[in-house]
Amino acid sequence: MNTIRSGFGKASRDKTLCKKMIDNLEALSGNNLCLAYLGGYQAVWANHIINPFSKLKTFNTGKDNIEKAIKKDPQNFEIRLVRFSIQKNAPAFLDYGQDQKSDEAFIIKNLHSVSNTVLKKLADEILKSE
């Protein structure tokens, strides 16, 4: 999981890494956290696509996977972090920012209980990014 976590912050700048993570996560099933990261990587992958129709379709597939994971486990810190990261960076015209403030408050409130250093670093980076 730490490889998936550490790659998440780099995926927007590294097309090869992003695709590799999507392929790896598609091979896994039944895990809400993996579904959320798959959705997150898919949403980021849209940045690497040129065709606007494919870009939108890929983003929406990622968004749907994130929301499925949230629905199954709404109190999961890491799943909420993935959604927050995508919503924070999504263009306004995609209309995917409605949970940003509540997710940010949830993350800040629960960050102290995170023991995994890679996850804590990822959360700090996402919270501090603009």
Query: What pLDDT does residue 53 have?
Result: 97
What distance in Å separates the CA atoms of residue 86 and residue 15, rounded to the nearest whole number?
16
Band the pLDDT of 30: cuts 50, 70, 90.
Answer: confident
Question: Looking at residues 29-51, what average pLDDT do you find?
Answer: 95
- Minimum mean pLDDT among 3-7, 30-34, 44-48, 81-85: which range? 30-34
Name the one residue in this structure whose structure tokens are 């598609």: 26
Query: What pLDDT does residue 89 have?
Result: 95
In degrees and rounded to multiples of 5, residue 9 shows phi and psi of -70, -20
CA distances to 31, 36, 48, 102 from 3, in Å: 16, 15, 20, 27
Instruction: Tally the domains of the chain.
Output: 1
Query: Domain residues for 14?
Result: 2-128
Residue 92 has pLDDT above 80, yes or no: yes
Contact 77, 90 (CB under 8 A): no
Residue 33 has pLDDT above 80, yes or no: yes
Query: What pLDDT does residue 57 have?
Result: 98
